[in-house]
């Protein structure tokens, strides 16, 4: 049976790229916020370093676990949930009163990042159609933009509002989560990749 050509869905890729940007915006904001947290709470350099360690452990190292879940079943809710959790953890970071609270929020945000990426990459691969390299590149650009603008936004907010200014990180996170929920219901995202592939004769 002849396979049908799956066209590249640039709208879907742009949406995932934007979500990638909003998610990684939070990851890159942490190193910029760390000097302010260190000064405010009187943390040592070693203790401050462990905050980055826990952030990397939760946002990167455990991603394969969520990737395994995403491979077993299409989990579209990973996208809005990941954006929201990543933003919420960083948003509340400026209100933390102890090292323990900082670690909890950093881990919470890191889990959001880890949740978003596997499902994001999987859907990006699907939307790319036959142009896999192009599709993956578009998705990857979002993460790079997030890493570029995150520190700038973090420093600006702290300089203008103090550490509590980190709360403004919740705005792009909630907005992106809402966009994902809306587009899912309005057929912006497929109900499942498996069903979509079958409908295309795969």
Residue 35 lies in a domain: yes
169 has pLDDT over 70: yes
Residue 4 lies in a domain: no
Write the DSSP symbol of residue 10.
H
Residue 50 lies in a domain: yes
| CB contact set of 46 (below 8 Å; sequence gap of 6+) | none
Q: What is the rounded average pLDDT for all residues in the chain?
A: 87
Residue 129 lies in a domain: yes
| Contact predicate 114/66, CB 8 Å | yes
138 has pLDDT over 60: yes
**Residue 69 or residue 30, greater confidence:** 30
Locus of tokens 């929920």: 181
When divided into structural domains, the chain yields a total of 1
Residues of the domain holding 124: 10-199
Task: Indicate the pTM of the whole model.
Answer: 0.85
| Contact predicate 163/39, CB 8 Å | no
Q: What CATH number is associated with residue 163?
A: 1.20.1250.20
Residue 44 lies in a domain: yes
Q: How far apart are CA 172 and CA 101, in angstroms?
A: 23
155 has pLDDT over 90: yes
pLDDT at res. 67: 84
Q: How far apart are CA 23 and CA 95, in angstroms?
A: 20
Over range 71-84, report the average pLDDT. 86
pLDDT at res. 193: 47
């Amino acid at each position: 049976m002849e396979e049908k050509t799956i066209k590249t869905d640039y709208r879907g890729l742009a949406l995932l790229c934007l979500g990638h940007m909003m998610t990684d915006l939070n990851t890159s904001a942490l190193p910029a916020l760390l000097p302010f947290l260190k000064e405010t709470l009187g943390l040592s350099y070693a203790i401050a370093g462990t905050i980055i360690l826990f952030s990397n452990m939760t946002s990167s190292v455990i991603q394969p676990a969520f990737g395994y879940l995403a491979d077993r079943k299409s989990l579209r809710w990973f996208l809005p949930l990941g954006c929201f959790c990543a933003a919420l953890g960083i948003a509340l970071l400026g209100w933390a009163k102890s090292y323990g609270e900082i670690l909890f929020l950093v881990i919470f945000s890191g889990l959001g990042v880890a949740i978003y990426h596997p499902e994001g990459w999987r859907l990006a691969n699907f939307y790319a159609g036959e142009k896999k390299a192009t599709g993956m590149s578009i998705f990857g650009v979002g993460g790079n933009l997030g890493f570029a603008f995150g520190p700038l936004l973090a420093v600006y907010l702290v300089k203008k509002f103090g550490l509590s200014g980190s709360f403004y990180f919740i705005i792009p996170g909630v907005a992106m989560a809402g966009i994902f929920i809306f587009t899912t219901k309005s057929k912006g995202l497929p109900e499942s990749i498996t069903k979509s592939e079958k409908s295309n004769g795969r």
